[in-house]
């Protein structure tokens, strides 16, 4: 191969560099769309269960008047009420963990793609830290992308990461130290899609009460990745 041909192919390689990055945007959209379909179905299931239970309670309110010393609705349907409350929370928590796992998996795949494009020996998993923090550090320090424009989105993602970690590692319980984190407390207490109860005198237990919490998260992630891809493309073309 002559010098001209070699330069031509090197230039062609540069022009096509990172073109595959936007395939990830499409794949992420497809996967989150599928997840959102399941979320809508699950919400419908929850609402049907709620309607059925409400109807039972209402009917019993009328029927119990016919009996002496009839139990109150909660006593009569205690098991079903408790199971319903747990079912809703467990389902939403599980779907959120799934949506977070999708985010983390794609972030590592994006890092692997960038590693190949830049022909780097170091991978994201070689860096100190865990999960998405390794990925962000890799894009910033190894691929050398300035992520200042994504700082606000990343701050929000870190709050969701905290919620995910509480659910996965500590059944949703915030310890005393975390409960003093003002930014996190504000995020939890001002988010109508999070329920919280005093677990004991020192900690708070949280759970997700609506699929809107999850769709808000997936929307945040899609927006973050879209901006990230454009930053990589623009900064690497300079």
133 domain residue, yes or no: no
pLDDT tens across 138-195, in order?
A: 999 999 999 999 999 999 999 999 999 989 988 888 777 777 778 888 888 889 999 8
Give, as one character, the DSSP assignment of residue 71.
P
142 domain residue, yes or no: no
26 domain residue, yes or no: yes
| pTM confidence score | 0.82
Provide the domain limits for residue 212.
3-120+149-236
* Interatomic CA distance for residues 155 and 78, integer angstroms: 41
* Interatomic CA distance for residues 106 and 129, integer angstroms: 17
Give, as one character, the DSSP assignment of residue 204.
E
Structurally, the chain folds into a number of domains equal to 1
197 domain residue, yes or no: yes
Structure tokens at 52: 């059925």
134 domain residue, yes or no: no
159 domain residue, yes or no: yes
pLDDT tens across 68-89, in order?
A: 788 888 888 888 888 787 788 8
Among 43-57, 171-185, 205-219, the least confident range: 171-185
143 domain residue, yes or no: no
Is the Cβ–Cβ distance between 190 and 206 less than 8 Å? Answer: no
- Which three-class secondary structure state does DSSP give residue 174? strand
* Interatomic CA distance for residues 225 and 23, integer angstroms: 11
139 domain residue, yes or no: no
């Amino acid at each position: 191969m002559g010098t001209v041909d070699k330069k031509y192919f090197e230039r062609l390689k540069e022009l096509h560099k990172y073109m595959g990055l936007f395939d990830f945007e499409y794949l992420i959209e497809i996967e989150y769309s599928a997840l959102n379909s399941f979320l809508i179905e699950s919400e419908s299931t929850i609402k049907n269960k709620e309607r059925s239970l409400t109807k039972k309670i209402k009917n019993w309110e009328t029927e119990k008047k016919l009996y002496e010393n009839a139990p109150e609705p909660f006593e009569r349907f205690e098991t079903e009420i408790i199971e319903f409350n747990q079912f809703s929370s467990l389902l939403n928590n599980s779907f959120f963990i799934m949506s977070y796992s999708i985010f983390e998996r794609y972030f590592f795949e994006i890092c692997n793609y960038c590693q190949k494009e830049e022909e780097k020996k170091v991978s994201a998993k070689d860096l100190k830290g865990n999960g998405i923090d390794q990925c962000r550090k890799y894009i910033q320090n190894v691929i050398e992308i300035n992520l200042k424009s994504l700082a606000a989105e990343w701050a929000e993602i870190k709050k969701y990461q905290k919620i995910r970690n509480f659910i996965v590692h500590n059944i949703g319980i915030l310890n005393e130290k975390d409960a003093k984190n003002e930014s996190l407390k504000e995020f939890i207490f001002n988010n109508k899609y999070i329920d919280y109860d005093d677990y004991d005198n020192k900690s708070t237990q949280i759970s997700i009460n609506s699929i809107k919490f999850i769709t808000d998260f997936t929307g945040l992630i899609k927006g973050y990745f879209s901006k990230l891809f454009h930053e990589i493309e623009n900064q690497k073309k300079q």
